[in-house]
Amino acid sequence: MPFENLVADWTWKAGALSLVPSASVYGGTLRARIESDFSKPESASRLSLEVDGVQAQPLLESATTLRDVFAGALHGRIALESRGLSWDAVSRTGKGEGRLSVANADLRTVRLMPEVARALAAVGAVAGFQVPPGLESTTFSKLETSLALVGGRVSTPDLTLEGADVSGSASGSLGLDRTLDYSGRIVLGPSIVKSFGKTGRYIADSEGRVALPFRASGPIASPKVAIDESIVLDLGRRALARQAGEKVGGTAGKILGDALGSGDGKQASPADILQQFLIEALVVSAVGGAIGVVLGLGTAAVVDALGTQVQFSLAPVLLAFGCAFGTGLIFGWLPANKAARLDPVVALSSE
């Protein structure tokens, strides 16, 4: 490991070493404190490490056999204790904690954004939008997480990623056996979602964002990244449903779009859609019938007041209201039954 401006204070007493070095390393500064008692086998060794602006890629490649897996400027600290300072001793007995942030983080083997772009392209193929060509190469300007070493794994329970209108969060761990296991989600901001065109608003949440859960696991050098397929399918269904609703048009289209594309992750059944249509038809028919009865009675009262005798009877009132209610119910059920059986893809492909 090349370094410059090395300064170190150290003491050695009865086989116990205390070393406090600092140096300029890979574009930044590294400071450490090492305490170990070499007079006793597997005695407790303590290491505290602070890094400020050190480039991650050359540091990682000089300390391990991993190549081209991670880049960025490291800032943070970690304190650990183990029975010895060898890699094997730290793997077996090491424990510690710390905090790390990485400027211009580049997760070169964890191909998150290419997988996000691929998943959204699958939705766009059926929903009719194009994924921006630069989405898969989107980078993160900052990575932050706390660190905890135990049992040979470094857990990062609150890892966050920040980029230009894209963010991420994840929880998982890195193993000293050079494996990783993470689950989290990537959130695309409003400006990216707007680039999907009109369809973007169909798949966005109330804040204009799209969130995609992911899982990454396997060797650090070549992990497998997968986007949650159920969420991808739900986004496609939601977009198609809203477009189908616009095809149908009017109140029926609005109800259809709401029922099929509610975004709650559940597919509305034909019975659910039929029920929504019928409830609206019943309410409209009842209100219309009541208004008609009130207007009829009002008109009769005015005619009676003008000198023409009018005889009021309950039966005609009930008959008029029943006719209005029945007509609304029948003509509400017909489009309701049709919409309940409508497939969004069929609606979009029909003229």
Q: In the listed set 66, 96, 126, which residue is the last one of a domain according to the structure?
A: 96
Lowest mean pLDDT among 53-62, 125-134, 143-152, 266-275: 266-275
Confidence at 169, pLDDT banded by 50, 70, 90: very high
Average pLDDT, the chain: 82
Total structural domains within the chain: 3
117 phi and psi, to 5 degrees? -60, -40
Higher pLDDT, 280 or 170: 170
- Return the percentage of the chain with pLDDT > 70, whole number: 81
Higher pLDDT, 315 or 34: 34
Cα gap 312→149, rounded to integer Å: 88
Position 292 in a domain:
yes
Is residue 248 pLDDT above 60, yes or no?
A: no
Same domain, residue pair 322 and 222: no
Same domain, residue pair 90 and 117: no
Same domain, residue pair 138 and 177: yes
Same domain, residue pair 279 and 324: yes
Position 243 in a domain:
no
Position 242 in a domain:
no
Cα gap 32→37, rounded to integer Å: 17
Report pLDDT for 97.
96
Is residue 341 pLDDT above 90, yes or no?
A: no
Model pLDDT for residues 266-308, shown as the tens digit of each residue: 444 556 555 656 666 677 778 777 888 788 878 878 877 777 7
Report pLDDT for 69.
92
Higher pLDDT, 305 or 205: 205
Position 130 in a domain:
yes
Position 104 in a domain:
no
Report pLDDT for 272.
55
Same domain, residue pair 134 and 220: yes
Same domain, residue pair 122 and 202: yes
Domain that holds residue 276: 248-349
Same domain, residue pair 123 and 217: yes
- Return the percentage of the chain with pLDDT > 90, whole number: 38
Same domain, residue pair 136 and 89: no
Q: In the listed set 194, 227, 260, which residue is the last one of a domain according to the structure?
A: 227
Report pLDDT for 337.
66
Higher pLDDT, 158 or 328: 158
Same domain, residue pair 196 and 264: no
Same domain, residue pair 89 and 114: no
Same domain, residue pair 85 and 8: yes
Is residue 311 pLDDT above 50, yes or no?
A: yes
What average pLDDT does range 46-66 have in this prediction? 91
Report pLDDT for 261.
47
What average pLDDT does range 219-232 have in this prediction? 90
265 phi and psi, to 5 degrees? 85, 0
Is residue 351 pLDDT above 60, yes or no?
A: no
Position 44 in a domain:
yes
Instruction: Please answer whether residues 48 and 77 qualify as being in contact, where contact means their C-beta atoms are separated by less than 8 angstroms.
Output: yes
Position 63 in a domain:
yes
> What is the value of pTM for the model shown?
0.68
Position 286 in a domain:
yes
Is residue 264 pLDDT above 50, yes or no?
A: no
Same domain, residue pair 92 and 118: no
What average pLDDT does range 158-180 have in this prediction? 94
Is residue 235 pLDDT above 70, yes or no?
A: yes
Higher pLDDT, 287 or 335: 287
Lowest mean pLDDT among 52-61, 101-110, 257-266: 257-266
Q: In the listed set 96, 118, 153, which residue is the last one of a domain according to the structure?
A: 96
